[in-house]
Chain A
Amino acid sequence: MLRYIFLRGCLAILVAFTVSLAAFLLLNVASDPAQAIAGEDATADVVETIRARYGLDRPLTVRYFDWLGGVLQGDFGESYYWHKPVAALVADRLDETLTLALSALAVTIVIAIPLGALAALNPNSWIDRFALGVAVSAQAVPNFWLGLIMIIVFAVMIPIFPVSGDSTWRHFVLPAFVLGSSSVPAVMRLTRTGLIEVMGADYIRTARSKGFRGWQLLRRHALRNAILPVISVLAVQLGQKFGGSVITESIFAINGLGRLALESILGADIPTVQMLIFVFAIVFVAMNLLADILNAAIDPRIRIG
């Protein structure tokens, strides 16, 4: 197990460095950081001053290995845009993204698992069709559209939540719903399929013959087995929410890592983009690893390593 975790940790770091190198090259090819910082109407002398100030006039290889050397010593460099150490910048924004990601995951769980369970207990009924309808709708609706509609309905027409910001728990309700709803289809369908399969198993028939029915049967016998693949998916979804909240954070003006990623890419703030990609890649691999470990912990038949 420990060896497995160690190998997956090494893989995460390798992935992070590879992706950050790709991001570094792509950003430098696709944009001119000095021009992006200076703005559209900046005069040539201003652009050149910025280029010299941030060392952007040095060759690409020198800049990349300079960054890499810093990273190996724990220094991710200074943001071109925010004029502060990138690590401090990311740390400042971490709270908001974690809050949003965990709230969104809670929304997913609260909606998807009961809905999936209800659909599985009543296959081919109107409840099942309703659940399927919810899943299809949630999958079809893009986040930015749902975000704007939620703002119009619950912040403008019926002003019970603020439009944007991140200073109170109320600010997170709408974005958590928007971000969480995108994972509902996958989790709901997996719960439904897993439960339908489990409900046909011999041990469930035995449990029924012992008098277990409804919620009791579900909780004590069926759900524990059906939930295994759901846990894996939830862990992966948490990783995706952590790095994939770019649109939601921008629409709701939440100062988290997603918004920072978008601003950094648009502003060609290469050190920040590189660290964010580094962090996102590691979180993603870590969440996959967590899913494996949780599966092994819940199901003694699974062995990893």
Chain B
Amino acid sequence: MLKKAVQRLAAGTLAVVPLLAGIAHADKADDTLRVAFTEDIINLDYHYTTKREYIIISELVDETLLAINPANGSYLPALATAWEQLDPVTMDLTLRDDVTFHDGTAMTADDVAYTYNTISTQASQTLSGGRIAVWFDRAEALEPQKVRFHFKTQYPLALQDMAIRVPIRKQGTYEAGGSFDPNAASGGPVGLGPYRVTSFESGSELVLERYDGYYAGGPKGDPAIGTVVIRSLPDEGTQQAELMSGSIDWINGVPRDVAESLGKMPNVKHLSGPDRRIGFLILDAGGLVDPEGPLTNLKVRRAMAHAIDRAGIASALIGGAAARIEGACHPSELGCNQEVTIYDHDPEKARALLAEAGFAEGFETEIWSYRDKPMSEAIVSDLKAVGIKVNLRQVKLDSLNVARANRQIPAYFGTWGGDTAPPIRQHFDPETDRNLSGDAELSAMVTEAYAELDPDRQGELFAKIHARITDQVYWIPLWSYSVNYLTDPELVFPLDDDGFPRLYKASWTQ
């Protein structure tokens, strides 16, 4: 808390120091984009990592068979120009013939088959392999530019996995030393993406150079900046100071007040864009924690939904592109249905519903939370205003996970980033302990939706699922988040609707 206060004080002080106006920024001159992450970058092989920073790097270095259009969530051709589902468990993909790895060798169907067949084995211990294990059986190269996928079972989201989770590796990557080596590409894969790794000091600095042989006409376009340097700087205050001194051009995840304060300086630009993350309150509707508890009463849950001023909290505490959401999904997510039951902020109605439910004097409950304490406190305050006395349990994520698995949590404030999987899949699967709904029919619908091949039918199922979740108030969907960036004023950094930062789109002002 004190540290944050000092950072804010420092930011405020810096904002009024006129000396700073004269500091020169040399980055445009040497065509180098300098980026800072709080996360230590230690492994460049996305098959073995999961966190967002690694996805950002993989987008620069790697290429996947397909891409996702950030504007509408549809699939775009990338390494594959066409794909055809021959039957529910067989798919053929046609590959581009003008794609080369960073060492100059041409990519063929053998590389694609090798990648999928290798990373899907349990022995490889890849994290991407765990993701595709649900559906992937084997891949075979039919022709130099044609590959056939055999599925274990029909799986409509196979294309999504192909687009976001499986970068293609050159044949033999992991066996270069004779036996299988999971760290073979950790220091810098020979990728297919728009930038190639030129140096990497684990936990310290990664240098990427634009790859001149990158294929034209791909979904990532033609990158404008020649060199990207990514540094690991764990302290946010240090990142901001580096930005002030002109040694860093781009940082993200800056607290709103700091970003707004520093953004007023002449040598800093503040950008605020959408974030794929959403917040929600999960309620023990199924009585899994307390079979007779007040949260099993639909009127109580609806009262809670009316009690929370979601728009007000999103605007006051997050700001930027943050907005109230109605459905249990991010608006940019494929199949997201926001046309569901609306619960306006109406404390009077909340009190009336509580009275109807037999809780005119309110009741006591617990809400658990592991992040965003100010938002948790605002929720508690709104609920208290209608008579619900909430004991807020602000804990670490690990503790929440354990307590949830032990069925000790009647309600919790959760968030989901959406980079790795859609939230309803993770929260309403029949097997997951995140599912407090107790609604077996809903879980069956979720399973059916993710196995449905017909896009129209799948869309209908998603709409029904989202409508049911909101109507029954298994969740109170709260808000989408926004993310604050601070950049060099000469940097042009487009912000996509899905909130994912794509550094290859950056350019310098002309």
Contact = CB atoms under 8 A, between A and B. Distances in A.
Contacts of A40: 371, 397, 415, 417
Interface stretch (B189-197, B242-250, B374-382): B242-250
Interface stretch (B10-18, B357-365, B441-449, B494-502): B10-18
A41 interface: yes
A271 B204 CA distance: 21
Interface string A51-89: 011000000000000000000000000000111000000
A83 B241 contact: no
B401 A32 contact: yes
In the A-B complex, the 10 residue pairs with the smallest Cβ-Cβ separation, listed nearest first, are: A41-B417, A32-B398, A49-B130, A39-B51, A151-B241, A156-B244, A31-B398, A45-B130, A53-B125, A163-B242
Contacts of B415: 40
B17 A164 contact: no
B131 A152 contact: no
Given A39-B50, A83-B42, A46 B432 contact: no
Interface stretch (A3-11, A204-212, A231-239, A255-263): A255-263
Interface in A232-288: 250-253, 255, 259, 262-263
A152 B13 contact: yes
A144 interface: yes
B241 A156 contact: yes
A43 interface: yes
A33 B43 CA distance: 17
Given A32-B401, A32-B402, A40-B417, A148 B241 contact: yes
A263 B40 contact: yes
Given A36-B398, A41-B416, A46-B127, A155 B241 contact: yes
Contact of A157 (B3, B20, B232, B247): B20
Given A40-B397, A250-B234, A255 B14 contact: no
Interface stretch (B93-101, B219-227, B418-426, B458-466): B418-426
A156 B234 CA distance: 19
Contact of B420 (A42, A53, A253): A42
B7 interface: yes
A43 B426 contact: yes
Contact of B6 (A32, A46, A145, A262): A145
Contacts of B130: 45-46, 48-49
A38 interface: yes
10 contacts: A39-B51, A40-B371, A46-B130, A49-B129, A83-B43, A151-B237, A151-B241, A164-B241, A253-B234, A253-B235
A261 to B, nearest CB: 12
A262 B234 CA distance: 10
Nearest to B205: A165
A243 B402 CA distance: 32
B390 to A, nearest CB: 23
B152 interface: no
A232 to B, nearest CB: 32
Interface residues of B, number: 56
Given A81-B42, A157-B17, A38 B50 contact: yes
Interface residues of A, number: 44
A35 B401 contact: yes
A139 to B, nearest CB: 16
A262 B232 CA distance: 14
B90 interface: no
A246 B74 CA distance: 46
Interface in A166-225: none
B42 A251 contact: no
A152 B16 CA distance: 13
Contacts of B371: 40
A44 interface: yes
Interface string A140-164: 0010110011011001110100111
A155 B234 CA distance: 18
Interface string B242-283: 101101000000000000000000000000000000000000
Contacts of A252: 238
B204 to A, nearest CB: 6
B186 interface: yes
A1 interface: no
